[in-house]
Chains A and B, each alone.
Chain A
Amino acid sequence: MLKLILNRILVAIPTLLLVSVIVFTLQKILPGDPVLTLAGEERDPVVLQYLRDKYHLDDPLPVQYGAWVMQVIQGDLGKSLRTDVPVTTLIAQKLPVTLQLASMAMLFALLIGIPAGIIAAVRKGTYIEMGANMVALSGMSVPGFWLGILLIMLVSVQWQLLPASGYVPPGQDLWLSLKTMVMPAFVLSTAIAAYLMRHTRSSMLEALSADYVRTARAKGVSPRGVVLHHALRNALMPIVTLVTLLFGELLAGAVLTEQVFTIPGFGKLMVDAVFNRDYAVVQGVVLVVAVGFIFMNLLADVLYVLVNPRLRHA
């Protein structure tokens, strides 16, 4: 077990390094001289040269990359060009907001996607299955930001049931926090719920046609018992790993959801940085998301072994 984890971590290191290369390359495709953007209106040659030295811009690319990576490893992602606040501080402030949003969205997705998938598999070939498939495909096709706008128009403006935007920390007022978050979390969950439904369905279909299910039926286990105890247990195994991987998708989807509902999270941080041409922040966000995603991958591998006793001693 420990060996497996160590092995995965070793494999993740080159991936991490390459991600850093990609993120580093991003700033290099920026047209124009970055120093001119940094220095602002007054283009004092002394300042320009100072900035060039500071960011190693006169050095060859590999040297520049090396210097940048050394900084990043020490936890220094640079400073926001606008506010001069360290990028790591900004990310640390905004990340909890997005994690709350993403966790609630994942909860919704599980509550919708898994039962729907089970029902679609059990009712294979009926209109119920076709309907469930259609709903899932619609969930995958609807642009989240538009669904958000529609819900705000209906639920907040027309019916005045839920707040249209903003964020309340759960520590301050838990009930209000959940009320503000429920709509964005639902919007964010649609695509993931659809994905989970489709995977649960196919995984269930496979399990339902397995020998052990036939055996269970033959020895007289109730249809309900067969589905819930025999088929579902095996069908959910791949779903566990899928859930960890889908968390990365949630972070990406949060970018637009937070924009529509004006939630001051990680995604909004990125979009605001894009508008302000605050490239250090954009880079920092991309890097942190990628590292998070690689970590989730690692977790998925470990979880897969944990939930699957057959692999535990392999």
Chain B
Amino acid sequence: MSAITIRSRNRAWAKFKANRLAMLGAVLVLFFVVVALIAPLIAGADPFKTSFTAIRKAPSAAHWLGTDELGRDLFSRMLFGARASLMAGLVSVLIALAVGVPLGLIAGYFGKWTDAVISRFTEAALAIPFLILAIALAAFLGPSLINAMIAIGVSAAPRFIRITRGQVLAVKNEDYVQSAKALGASDTRIILRHILPNVMPPLIVQATITIATAIIAEASLSFLGLGLQPPNPSWGSMLNTAKNFMSQAPWMSIFPGSAIFLVVLGFNLLGDGLRDALDPRQKT
């Protein structure tokens, strides 16, 4: 690693640290990650245990966030729900990256008909609104958390193809790429060693923001019954049941929704901060 990259990394980190909203985002994200990891240790109650003597009880000392329509402890279900949400966000974005980045690299680097084919398909896929495509895919694949993640990941992939391709086009004719070519480096080596590192900053930013989108999308699919299946807890499916008890048990709606809102806000703040620090050219 050269001195220049270290210096620019330090500058990016200093910029990020000075951004209070970005730090708030990082703290929010970290909080939910820790909660998801240690959920079994702090849950207290079994998230699956029903109790017909404690149906739809308001928050109390025994049940901090109240209980649901089957008398299950909402606090425990919320904690385990964090796992479903974060995993969905992360895995869908990994799928989107795994599909999108190689295709974007290939389209941008090789150009010509390869680019034409990939780009036309990307445009066509982008013509279908993200959530509609995700719902349709999830519907055809069948309802489960894994299928929801595949549906969201595949629907988000075109964005990554487009960003990667654009970035490759921007650096492909730089001197260092041309000289690597002149020295006889293979295409694979040039793509992986010289082009990919330059594509990373905007990808990191986009990935962070897409985690936020993916978490909302997973909650939406679960809300429609297309995500994690009951009795497993997910914030979206908890809201789906909660909407039937809006006046009798408002806490059933308030807490899972707030959790989705906070974790998504965290990722959005983090993404904004990363963009300012890593990729100052791109605004808004």
Task: Give me the interface of A with B, judged by CB distance under 8 Å.
Answer: 14-16, 18-19, 21-22, 26-27, 29-31, 130, 133-134, 137-138, 140-143, 145-147, 149-150, 152-153, 157, 198-199, 201-202, 248-249, 251-253, 255-256, 259-260, 270-271, 274-275, 279, 282-283, 285-286, 289-290, 293-294, 297
Contact = CB atoms under 8 A, between A and B. Distances in A.
Category for how many chain B residues contact A: 35 or more
Contacts of B216: 141, 143
Contacts of A130: 21
Interface stretch (B43-51, B56-64, B132-140, B194-202): B132-140
A21 B137 contact: no
A143 B257 contact: yes
Given A146-B239, A286-B128, A153 B247 contact: yes
Contacts of A146: 239, 253, 256-257, 260-261
A274 B224 contact: yes
A15 to B, nearest CB: 5
Interface string B204-236: 000000001000100110011110000000000
Contacts of B212: 140-141
Interface stretch (B29-37, B94-102, B117-125, B181-189): B117-125
Nearest to B217: A143
B143 to A, nearest CB: 9
A283 B137 CA distance: 10
A137 B121 contact: no
11 contacts: A15-B124, A16-B124, A142-B261, A146-B257, A149-B242, A150-B253, A255-B135, A259-B224, A286-B128, A286-B132, A290-B128
Given A137-B272, A145-B220, A289 B129 contact: yes
Contacts of B253: 146, 149-150, 153
A152 B261 CA distance: 18
B265 interface: yes
A256 B140 contact: no
B250 interface: yes
Contacts of A201: 284
B131 A255 contact: yes
Contacts of B133: 286
Contacts of A290: 124, 127-128
Interface string B244-257: 00110010011011
A252 B139 CA distance: 15
Main secondary structure of the interface of A (DSSP, over half): helix
Given A15-B124, A271-B224, A290-B128, A143 B261 contact: yes
Contact of B284 (A19, A22, A202, A283): A202
A15 B123 CA distance: 7
B131 A138 contact: no
A297 B127 contact: yes
B136 A286 contact: yes
B281 to A, nearest CB: 12
A15 B256 CA distance: 40
Given A18-B121, A27-B140, 14 more contacts: A15-B124, A18-B120, A133-B21, A137-B268, A150-B253, A255-B135, A256-B220, A256-B223, A259-B224, A282-B139, A283-B136, A290-B127, A293-B129, A297-B127
B157 interface: no
Contact of A31 (B132, B142, B284): B142
A134 B20 CA distance: 12
A255 B133 CA distance: 12
A14 B225 CA distance: 35
Contacts of A141: 212, 216, 261, 264-265, 268
